[in-house]
Structure 1
């Protein structure tokens, strides 16, 4: 589990307060087993309220608390954030000619360990979780990740339907950098909303095809 600082307005005033909010829950980890979800807010540590504390003070309270420790949360929405998800991926010249060449990946744009315009492709969400934990623990990163710095020199195609023989129908689009005459990054998904979410995030730092 990973916490991050988020500020929110105090109801009925013009003041803001800091909150310690869950930004990552490791699959099959203890936090997930206890129902903690992304967006959950820390309310108390070992029964002591953290109301009015800064984010740094909440972290210190968690570090100093006797073990075993009990943390009380206000549950968040629980859904994945817009900048992460699952897709099929393949870099090649033009569109992939076979369904078998696509690789399943977990995409993250920005996130906990990269700048907002960096697209990262992990083998799985578990691989991403391990990288985040390693970075914050200052441990060696052993997971493989493809990271691409996007920007105005990159452009993205519209989403199109694609059908391979003997395979489920796909929705696809590609991302290409100016000056790349042959190679392009292809993305696909059986889920149109999932792929639209990925493309919308990429368009925040790239430009559409003209």
Structure 2
């Protein structure tokens, strides 16, 4: 379980940062920054973990506790599908992280980032591989980012129901791939991703005559 060891080691205002949504075939990448200026509320310290390890119901409860606590500072940022296509997914993830930190109510003095690389935040930062299972601040950020992104994809699924986003959050599950084959891409798909391109190419009828724009294969 994550704890507050890294935050205590640095002292001062330490924010944990994590992103969700690098791997999906559709939707934005979302990042969150979380800072505990005082002590971590007990219910959070005892239950926070890597958001992927938490059941959805518990994740939602922890998210509500985080948002309701006046002693928890939260910033959220995102990068759109257009930005993912323009900058690539890594740089778009960094952009979302920078936006999340910029939207914290107070500026951090140090940042803990999940992963092995981080953008320039304008203050010192430390990358922590597997950080959402090590640092409470990063774990909290992972919960916030995942709940927000999952809910966003569920809302988008109401308008684009063929892809099952309310269940797969845009990841390339069988239902999502079948929807792409049957319906083609939506405006929210990451068309530059190789997996999306291959599925769309496979959806082209073999009987269609080849042309310069549609090479036979």
The structure that has the greater radius of gyration is 1
Instruction: Decide which structure has greater helix share.
Output: 2
TM-score (norm 1): 0.24
Instruction: Decide which structure has greater strand share.
Output: 1
Higher relative contact order (CA 8 A, sep 6+): 2
